[in-house]
Amino acid sequence: MWLTREPLVLRYDPRGATLTFKGLLPGVARGSLLLAEVQALVGSRHVRSLPAHRRIDKRRVDVECAHWRGRVSVVLYVKGQHHAYAVQRGVNLVNEIFTVLQASYPEYLSEAFGLPVE
Domain ranges of the chain: 9-113
Report the 10 Å Cβ neighbour count for 40.
Answer: 10
Q: What is the pLDDT of residues 59-96, one digit of tens each?
A: 999 999 999 999 999 999 999 999 999 999 999 999 99
Could you give the 3-state DSSP secondary structure of residue 1? coil
The answer on pLDDT for 6 being more than 90 is: no
Report if pTM > 0.85: yes
Q: What is the pLDDT of residues 88-109, one digit of tens each?
A: 999 999 999 999 999 999 999 9
Give the whole-angstrom CA distance, residue 31 versus residue 62: 23
**Whole-number pLDDT of residue 4:** 81
Is residue 65 within 8 A of residue 55, CB to CB? The reply is no
Closest CA to 78 of 70, 69, 90: 90
